[in-house]
């Protein structure tokens, strides 16, 4: 069970990081408007969140490091909310100055409080060890869960407000292309709202389930994937893309690094006692595993990429 959890969670975090990182690159490479950079900030937040979850999983047996990873993850996820709300207002050209100021101020305050509580240990949370790994839970009393519900509940209101603004603007929009653009953004924000719903119910038994990290990383991956598809297929944000051979090899290199790091971690964890955690044999075996897994599928990846992007005409 523990190996399956590690494998599934690590694969999903890798996919989430690549999806959000790829979409971030596309937006920054062609973005010129203010709302482009606001949306890029959202993608960057979830790329960082994916990386921190990845580190939480593979370094779960090192409790002294977990506080940092949890703090980075929560900070990135929390700060994505005012970016989502601010982006929506700019994208739809609907200025809401007072609510924007409140969104940024409120999120900054709860982020500082939560991160400081985790780092300095004065919050109502503690690390608990389960069969599948270590997780964060509330320790005694009702104030912890109540304050948590209040914090996350307000953040959800901002996300759902952004979704409502997009839904209402989509209904009024007459251009089919603009309607499709809003639909992609709306669906991606709804995926993020489901992520916050899972965080909202953290004090319940869902948090002790080994499924919690795969569910959350799947939602983060869906967000980045939807935006990437919208950019490539529907020219979201007026971005037109052609994927060249260099892009294929960049993706392939990222997957190689990911598989190598993951296989090295597993070997160090389960075979390290025999060879030594930093043995040269572990590095050699990890390289062999990466080659054995990835080289046979290289041509399939290349054909799939070429079929998907065959009609795109503008280079990066």
Tokens of 101: 């100021």
Q: What is the dihedral of CA 295, 296, 300, 302, to 10 degrees?
A: 20
Domain with CATH 1.20.1070.10 in the chain: 2-241
φ/ψ (deg, to 5) at 167: -60, -45
Q: Which tens digits make up the pLDDT trace of 89-145?
A: 999 998 899 999 999 999 999 888 887 877 776 665 666 666 656 666 655 555 556
Of 118, 52, 47, 50, the residue nearest 83 (C-alpha): 47
Question: Mean of the per-residue pLDDT values for the chain?
Answer: 76
The least confident of 33-47, 123-137, 260-274 is 260-274
pLDDT at 128: 63
The least confident of 140-154, 193-207, 253-267 is 253-267
pLDDT at 206: 43
Q: Which tens digits make up the pLDDT trace of 136-180?
A: 665 555 555 666 677 888 999 999 999 999 999 999 999 999 999
8 Å CB contact between 167 and 193: no
Tokens of 86: 């601010």
Residue written as tokens 């190689």? 256
DSSP state of 26: H
| Buried b / exposed e along 103-129 (16+ C-beta atoms within 10 A) | bbebbeebbeebbeebeeeebbbeeee
pLDDT at 313: 45
For the chain, give me the number of helices (H) and strands (E)? 11, 2
Rounded (10°) angle between helices 212-234 and 176-200: 170
Residue 69 has pLDDT above 70, yes or no: yes
Neighbours of 237 (CB within 10 A): 21
Residue 183 has pLDDT above 90, yes or no: yes
134 bridge partner residues: 129
Residue 215 has pLDDT above 60, yes or no: yes
SS3 content of the chain, % helix, strand, coil (to 5): 80, 5, 15
pLDDT at 314: 42
Architecture per CATH, 2-241: Up-down Bundle (1.20)
Tokens of 200: 């909202």
8 Å CB contact between 95 and 89: yes
């Amino acid at each position: 069970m523990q190996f399956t959890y590690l494998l599934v969670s690590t694969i999903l975090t890798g996919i989430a990081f690549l999806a959000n990182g790829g979409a971030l690159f596309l937006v920054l490479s062609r973005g010129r408007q203010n709302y482009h950079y606001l949306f890029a900030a959202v993608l960057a937040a979830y790329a960082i969140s994916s990386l921190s979850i990845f580190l939480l999983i593979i370094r779960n047996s090192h409790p002294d490091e977990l506080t940092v990873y949890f703090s980075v993850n929560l900070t990135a996820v929390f700060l994505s909310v005012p970016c989502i709300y601010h982006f929506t207002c700019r994208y739809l050209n609907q200025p809401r100055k007072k609510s924007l100021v409140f969104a940024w101020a409120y999120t900054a305050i709860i982020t500082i409080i939560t991160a400081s509580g985790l780092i300095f240990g004065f919050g109502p949370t503690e690390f608990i060890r389960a069969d599948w790994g270590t997780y964060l839970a509330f320790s005694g009393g009702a104030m912890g869960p109540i304050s948590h519900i209040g914090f996350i509940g307000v953040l959800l209101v901002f996300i759902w407000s952004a979704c409502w603004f997009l839904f209402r603007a989509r209904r009024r929009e007459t251009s089919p292309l603009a309607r499709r653009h809003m639909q992609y953004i709306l669906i991606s924000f709804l995926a993020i709202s489901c992520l916050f719903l899972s965080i909202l119910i953290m004090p319940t038994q869902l948090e002790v389930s080994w499924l919690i990290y795969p569910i959350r990383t799947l939602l983060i991956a869906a967000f980045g994937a939807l935006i990437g598809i919208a950019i490539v297929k529907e020219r979201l944000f007026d971005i037109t893309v052609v994927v060249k051979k260099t892009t294929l090899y960049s993706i392939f290199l990222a997957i190689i690094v990911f598989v190598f790091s993951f296989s090295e971690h597993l070997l160090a964890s389960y075979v390290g006692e025999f060879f030594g955690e930093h043995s040269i044999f572990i590095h050699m075996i990890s390289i062999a595993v990466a080659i054995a897994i990835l080289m046979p599928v290289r041509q399939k990846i290349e054909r799939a990429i070429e079929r998907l992007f065959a009609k795109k005409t503008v280079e990066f």
